[in-house]
Amino acid sequence: HFFTAPPHVSPNPFLSTDTMARALLCVGMAVLLSCAAASSAFVSTPLLRETSARAGRMAPAVKMQDVASHFTPRKNTASASPATSDHYFAKSSIMPSRRQANEAKKAEKAASKLPAVEFSGGKVTGPSGPILPLGQTLDFLEATPYWDQSGVTVNVAKQKNPHIGKIVSVQRMVGPNAPGETCNIIIDHDGKLPYWEGQSYGVIPPGIDPKRNKPYGVRLYSIASTRYGDDKTGKTTTLCVRRATYWCPELKADDPAKKGVCSNYLCDSKPGDEVKLTGPSGKVMLMPEDDVTQTYIMVATGTGIAPFRSFLRRLFGEANPAQKNFQGLAWLFLGVANKDALLYDEEFQVYLRQNPDKMRLDYALSREGPLNKKGGKMYIQDKVEEYADEVFDALDKGAHIYFCGLKGMMPGIQDMLKDVCKAKGLDFEEYLEGIKKKGQWHVEVY
């Protein structure tokens, strides 16, 4: 319609100066728009591309239609007059440069808040692998009989001659509101370092310790998988590692000079990376499986959940001999800051639904949820105290109680137990010594 003369103009456009001027104007605008679109079709905004890349994705190149969308033709009607139809194009209210700048700022802000390891699960506490079906029998790594611990090995690999494993996967397993970053790390040991539930692996980080001017020593990590591994091949192990960082109040940022060497090394590792392993080590946290009616009381804070995840997976998540015969109770207490910091929760909830008579689960969320009986934050010792009578009754009947987590948890636990013993008319030191002699007291703190 650009070349159609208005009704009041002669039908021959070459005899109309007004029509000729309008036609030339339209042709010029069309050429300018085409040139701008063509030159932008293969160019992306550097700042937007850079900040989007930080957020884990590349910004798409600006398309021709994207450029054209910044200039929108005004609506023409049949009744439009020549005066109003002179303005065929009008600039949009938002200029491309302003929009791109705003998007760049938003992307950069989002990128600064992203975790070092991207959370890849659908939920904030997704397990490292699928819930294992019970149909496939697993017995190729069992002793004879399966509860016989006389053949449990330790220190197959030592610091002077470590086993070289390979990283299979590193997955962030806490949500955005969790304090810190915790990763589920699966390592392939090729079946060369067999272990039992409750044991630990040692990891030797690369580099030289500047304080000693010697290679770094071994760091121990409790194993979070059963002896069969999450893939049921018997050739992998799972570690639950929290990245250790130090917040400097003066810098108002994490101080890289004081970060945990080994935890950051593991959380930053990539599939295929080699890692030096020692162990397995320890026997204090093993489960006595000879009594199928045994009660296991497990008390954990943070990544101290690792050995207990292996316990619960063995008792409820695999078709192994222990799972088939277990008739007792597995009772887990876990203390973390908030719901986003819960570890392996979805997996535990499945076990709980499937085994309501064999499992109990109690969480202590210190930064949210109910307060303790004194009106303060709910810490792990407060949650255990709520069930003190049941816990003591179970211990009197031979239950085994396990503690794993930061060593700072134990003073609070012992103070709570002292108060309970006093209320029951018991001498705490005598009581504790008694259950230790019977092998019912298991502690692994760090």
- Residue 146 CB-density burial (10 A; 0-12 exposed, 13-18 middle, 19+ buried): middle
Contact criterion met (CB below 8 Å) for 128 and 171:
yes
**CA–CA separation, 282 and 292 (whole Å):** 23
Residue 376: C-alpha distances to residues 178, 228, 369, 379, 406 (Å): 20, 42, 11, 9, 21
Residues sharing a CB contact under 8 Å with residue 141, sequence separation 6 or more, in sequence order: 194, 227, 228, 234
Say which DSSP state 158 is in: B
Q: Which of 249, 250, 266 is nearest to 183 (CA)?
A: 266
Tokens 């504790």 label which residue?
Answer: 432
- Residue 147 CB-density burial (10 A; 0-12 exposed, 13-18 middle, 19+ buried): middle
Give the rounded distance of the alpha carbon of 352 from its chain centre: 22
Tokens 């910044």 label which residue?
Answer: 70
Question: How many CA atoms, within 13 angstroms, populate the side-chain half-sphere of residue 225?
Answer: 28
Q: How many CB atoms lie within 10 A of CB 234?
A: 16
Please give the structure tokens belonging to residue 308.
């207990």
Exposure class string for 196-221: b at 16+ Cβ within 10 A, else e: bbbbbbbbbbeeeeeeeeeebebbeb
Which residues form the catalytic set? Answer: 221-222, 404, 444, 446
Parallel, antiparallel, or unpaired for β 329-336 and 359-365?
Answer: parallel
